[in-house]
Amino acid sequence: MSVSDGDGEATSLSSCSDIHVVAGLLKLFLRLLPIPLIPFDQYDRLIAAMKCTSPLQRIGEVRTILARFPPAHFQTTKFLMAHLYRVSCESARNKMTPKALATVFAPTTMRRATLNVPPPSPSPSSSAPPSPAVPHNLADPLSLLTLMDAEKEVIEFLIEREPEVFS
């Protein structure tokens, strides 16, 4: 595997023995995607699917939503969740439970489109810095924490139920 450095030169990762560097690069890559792995238009649907009380109904709803993903997003999500599932199967040794993995990967794989809006430009007559362009309900820290918990719940579910969801 190789990555491009700042000058456009390819740098091989095969000689990198620090798994944390490779994991950090993966998270950076996912974070920098213009459209996150969980596409903006499916974000709210996946959050809502977590409210299904029946596990079979929840799996069915999530599968329906995943079928709406662009093919590259679906295949990459499937591959990543299969990998994270295998990592979580070794949690007795590595301490990376589905919940811990979701805490790490939820912020890099899904985000609301409204949080991606750039702040407005300041008016020429104003010397005050512009306020962030976050909708009022998301400006509240408690609302943001609630969203973060919901995102973690989605990713934890995708990891735990990977064999059923992606079969």
Residue 119 maps to a domain: no
Looking at the structure of the chain, the number of domains it has is: 1
Q: Which distant-in-sequence residues (6+ apart) come within 8 Å of 150 by Cβ?
A: 47, 50
Q: What is the pLDDT of residues 66-107, one digit of tens each?
A: 999 999 999 999 999 999 999 999 999 999 999 999 999 999
Position 126 confidence tier, pLDDT thresholds 50, 70, 90:
very low
Per-residue pLDDT at 122 exceeds 60: no
Task: Determine which of 53-62, 81-90, 108-117, 133-142 has the lowest per-residue pLDDT on average.
Answer: 133-142
Residue 2 maps to a domain: no
Residue 91 maps to a domain: yes
Q: What confidence score (pLDDT) does residue 132 get?
A: 41
Residue 17 maps to a domain: no
Per-residue pLDDT at 117 exceeds 60: no
**In the chain, what is the straight-line distance between the N-terminal and C-terminal CA atoms, in Å?**
27
Domain region containing 77: 37-114+133-167
Q: Which residues, in sequence order, are bridge partners of residue 4?
A: 10
161 or 128, higher pLDDT: 161
Per-residue pLDDT at 8 exceeds 70: no
Assign residue 139 the CATH number of its domain. 1.10.555.10
Residue 6 maps to a domain: no
142 or 152, higher pLDDT: 152
Residue 26 maps to a domain: no
Residue 89 maps to a domain: yes
Residue 28 maps to a domain: no
Position 118 confidence tier, pLDDT thresholds 50, 70, 90:
very low
